[in-house]
């Protein structure tokens, strides 16, 4: 599901997560929040600071600045400070990921191509065997 997609109700079996006095619903790596128009729900970017009990299926380990992160479809996680699950963190500059998130848009800035998703910029880079994407500051 792409950010902004409207849905009538949270996914079945979604787990409620309260962050900054807003209730989100988490299911298989997707976050759903209340629609801004007050009717229904929509897919939202993962709220930084939110804590989930388990990583979504298919999450991969990536590294940036010698720290380990877990990545899934545009969301980065780190082990929660108290060991109680995984906390959503901002996209770490320099992280290399194998794919850009579903629903990302392409843009060109100063002659460089980027994919943009949830406020993060992914710069494609051919590493000699495949195209990977570097989280970049623009």
Q: Residues 19-34: pLDDT tens digits? A: 888 899 999 888 999 9
DSSP helix/strand/coil, 86: strand
Write down the pLDDT at residue 135: 96
Residues 45 and 110: their CA atoms lie apart, in Å, by: 26
- The band of 123, judged by pLDDT with boundaries at 50, 70 and 90, is very high
Residues 122 and 132: their CA atoms lie apart, in Å, by: 9
Residue 113 pLDDT greater than 70, yes or no: yes
Residues whose CB falls within 8 Å of the CB of residue 119, separated by 6 or more in sequence, listed in order:
45, 91
Residue 1 pLDDT greater than 70, yes or no: no
| Averaged pLDDT for residues 130-137 | 95
What is the model's pTM? 0.88
| DSSP code at position 47 | P
Domain locations along the chain = 96-136
Residues 109 and 79: their CA atoms lie apart, in Å, by: 33
pLDDT digits (tens, 9 = 90+) for 47-64: 999 999 999 999 999 999
Q: To 5 degrees, how large is the angle CA 47–CA 34–CA 73?
A: 40
Residues 23 and 116: their CA atoms lie apart, in Å, by: 26
């Amino acid at each position: 599901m792409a950010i902004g997609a409207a849905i009538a109700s949270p996914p079945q079996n979604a787990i409620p997560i309260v962050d900054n006095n807003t209730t989100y619903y988490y299911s298989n790596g997707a976050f759903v929040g209340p629609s801004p128009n007050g009717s229904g729900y929509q897919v939202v970017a993962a709220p930084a600071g939110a804590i989930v009990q388990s990583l979504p299926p298919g999450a991969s380990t990536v590294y940036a600045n010698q720290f380990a992160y877990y990545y899934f479809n545009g969301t980065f996680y780190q082990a929660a400070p108290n060991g109680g699950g995984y906390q959503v963190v901002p996209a770490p500059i320099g992280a290399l990921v194998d794919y850009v998130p579903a629903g990302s848009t392409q843009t060109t800035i100063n002659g460089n191509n980027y994919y943009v998703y949830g406020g993060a910029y992914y710069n494609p880079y051919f590493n000699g065997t495949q195209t990977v994407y570097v989280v970049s500051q623009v």
